[in-house]
Amino acid sequence: MLEVQDIDVSYGHAKALHNVSVNLQRGEMVFVVGRNGAGKTTLLRTIAGFLQPTQGSITLEGQSLLGLRPDQVARLGLRFVAQDKKVFSHLTVRDNLELAAHASGEKLETAVERLLGLYPKFEKFMDSKAGGLSGGQREILLIGRALVGEPGVLLVDEPTEGLAAIVIADIFRILSEMKERISTIIVEQNLSVVGRLADRIYIMKEGKIEQEITDPAEITDASQLECYL
Amino acid sequence: MPSVAVPQPINSIAPTGAGRILRDMAIVAASFLVLSLFIPLHWLTDFAIFSILVLSFDLLYGYMGHLSFGHMLYYGVGAYAASLTCIHLAPNPLLAMLVGVVSGLLVAALVGLVVVQVEGAAFALVNLAINQIGFWLAQSGLQDYTHGEDGLPSAVEALGFLDFYNLPVAFGFMLLCLVLVFGLLRMLTSSPYGLVVRSIKENEDRVKFLGYNTFAYKWLTFVIASTLASFAGALYALVKGFVAPADLNPLENTRIIFSVLIGGAGNLYGAVVGAVSFELLSNYLATSIARWEMVLGFMLLALVFWFRRGITGYSSDLVAKLRHGRRVGG
């Protein structure tokens, strides 16, 4: 479904990704793990169109994404949830969804229903400013907003970073529910989440794919992933 | 169980059916009519035109977050286009207005393709540079057409009841134009387009994530704002009967920026309140204080350091506090 083949990405003269290849099949949940600075976010931003590789190819359902702007990539059905948990804080929760609904042509009511299905507690916040939400609520709103229009692929950058355990449990539940419905690449440092949800895992180190783990037994034993980090 | 943040419900964009838009238009009209009991009509006529100019700037700066130091260019384009229409085509006010608006739209459409590629200080200064070029063209580059510092007359003939030499008629027409512009902007800023524009101000990258071509939205907003400024310029030329290079002097941009800051940016009522307040201050201070610009300077400092949200920003807070107090008090 999504094929990233031998891409190099540089920031000026500094090479951030070296010959990176990943792929995502339909219905899969693939995790990318690695230390800080390994190039995980750079990989997701490149796929989303914010950075252009200096070599290699990126295709989505056979269509090349190279040279496309981020909004063009998004309209092809690939959405990106960034790490910083930034919502449109001066808009209400409902307006945040309406923005996404208008772009995708989906009805606002459908988007609202989906978000409430993910997290019913949002019902009392729908007309409140998104800037007043907690970090976990923002992450859930961002995921809900990214799902508007039912994209085919979702890229999520560190969804549980900085969140309390109880909130991580909510995020985990949401990701579990999404697992069959949408193909996802998730960058994550929380190895217990990785171990419980991943179909495959890519280990990144210094801008390269160090290893790909496909054995379910290896995946579920999250503790042994520590040695790769 | 950890406490969950429960933000107070606040409508970020007030729900607006046609009824609410008409209500807001009526409020603006009524306010000016009440002011006409206390303020000379010729001043109010100017205030109405200036309010249109400030509203146009607020769309660009207050709603989209792009500060331009060159907005007066389009005001001047509209004014000169209207004047030249009166001189070379026909002294028909409606034709002059139409040509003024279309001229501003064409210039903005071309310039916008370049300027919206930059942002922040670069956007402000590129627009200033282009305004400066326009100012030079009016002063000397095109003086065969503009008559340089001598200026151009823009005398129009009466068209039915529309007689700009009849002050109440001129005021009524300018007020109608202001109300219509206010209604148009209310409709736009409350629509999905308005949501996108406000979101671009907050975080353009996130808007791109959702699939929006933000360049197109920024360009469109720039064109709408500039075209409305040209409309204000055309109206000014018809009311004053004269246009000169000073009408697109880049320094005059400070009046607009000041007005938006006084009233509160990103708020249509704020733009009108700010425009009227600034004009009142300028007119009254100028008659009573020799160095009135210094007073304005101190006011600007006060605004920047202590009253950033302007009159409407703090008024909204006060109203919300009073409502909350009433609810809590039972």
Tell me, what's the pLDDT at B12?
44
Tell me, what's the pLDDT at A223?
64
On average, the pLDDT of chain A sits at: 89
Tell me, what's the pLDDT at A196?
81
Is A165 a domain residue?
A: yes
For residue B326, pLDDT beyond 70: no
DSSP state of A18: E
Tell me, what's the pLDDT at A190?
80
Check if the beta carbon of residue A222 is closer than 8 Å to that of residue A51. Answer: no
Number of A:B CB contacts under 8 A?
Answer: 95
Q: Flag whether residue A90 sits within 8 Å of chain B, measured between CB atoms.
A: yes
Tell me, what's the pLDDT at B9?
41
Q: How many domains does chain A have?
A: 1
Is A66 a domain residue?
A: yes
**Domain span at residue A17?**
2-86+153-228
For residue A197, pLDDT beyond 90: no
Is A106 a domain residue?
A: no
The residue written with tokens 């704002």 in the block is: B225
Is A34 a domain residue?
A: yes
Tell me, what's the pLDDT at A222?
62
Q: How confident is residue A221, by pLDDT bands cut at 50, 70 and 90?
A: low
Q: Tokens standing for A187?
A: 């960058």
Tell me, what's the pLDDT at B155?
83
Q: Tell me the C-alpha distance between A169 and B75, whole Å.
A: 57
Is A181 a domain residue?
A: yes
Q: Tell me the C-alpha distance between B238 and B231, whole Å.
A: 11
Is A54 a domain residue?
A: yes
Residue among B6, B198, B208 minimizing CB distance to A71: B208
Residue among A75, A86, A124 minimizing CB distance to B211: A75
pLDDT in tens, B37-78: 999 999 999 999 999 999 999 999 999 999 999 999 999 999
Q: Tell me the C-alpha distance between B209 and A100, whole Å.
A: 9
Tell me, what's the pLDDT at A36?
87
Q: Flag whether residue A165 sits within 8 Å of chain B, measured between CB atoms.
A: no
pLDDT in tens, B149-187: 999 988 888 888 888 989 999 999 999 999 999 999 999
On average, the pLDDT of chain B sits at: 89
Q: Flag whether residue A13 sits within 8 Å of chain B, measured between CB atoms.
A: no
Q: Worst-scoring range by mean pLDDT, A7-11, A38-42, A214-218, B271-275?
A: A214-218
Return the top range by mean pLDDT from B206-210, B217-221, B259-263.
Answer: B217-221
Q: Tokens standing for B38?
A: 């206390």
Cβ pair A133:B11 closer than 8 A: no
For residue B328, pLDDT beyond 70: no
Is A101 a domain residue?
A: no
pLDDT in tens, B252-293: 999 999 999 999 999 999 999 999 999 988 887 777 777 777
Q: How confident is residue B312, by pLDDT bands cut at 50, 70 and 90?
A: confident
For residue B241, pLDDT beyond 70: yes
Domain of A194, CATH number, reads 3.40.50.300
Q: How far apart are the first and last CA of chain B?
A: 30
Nearest of B120, B69, B128 to residue B258 by alpha carbon: B69
With contacts defined as CB-CB under 8 Å, which chain B residues touch A103?
Answer: 210-212
For residue B3, pLDDT beyond 50: no
**What are the boundaries of each domain within chain B?**
18-252
For residue B327, pLDDT beyond 70: no
> pTM to 2 decimals?
0.88
Tell me, what's the pLDDT at B7?
40
Q: Flag whether residue A211 sits within 8 Å of chain B, measured between CB atoms.
A: no
Q: Which of B206, B207, B267, B309 should we substitute to test contact with A (largest number of A Cβ atoms within 10 Å)?
A: B206
Cβ pair B208:A69 closer than 8 A: yes
Mean pLDDT on A209-226: 75
User: Backbone phi, then psi, for B119, in 5-degree steps?
Assistant: -145, 175
Mean pLDDT on B121-146: 95
Q: How confident is residue B5, by pLDDT bands cut at 50, 70 and 90?
A: very low
Tell me, what's the pLDDT at B295?
79
Is A211 a domain residue?
A: yes
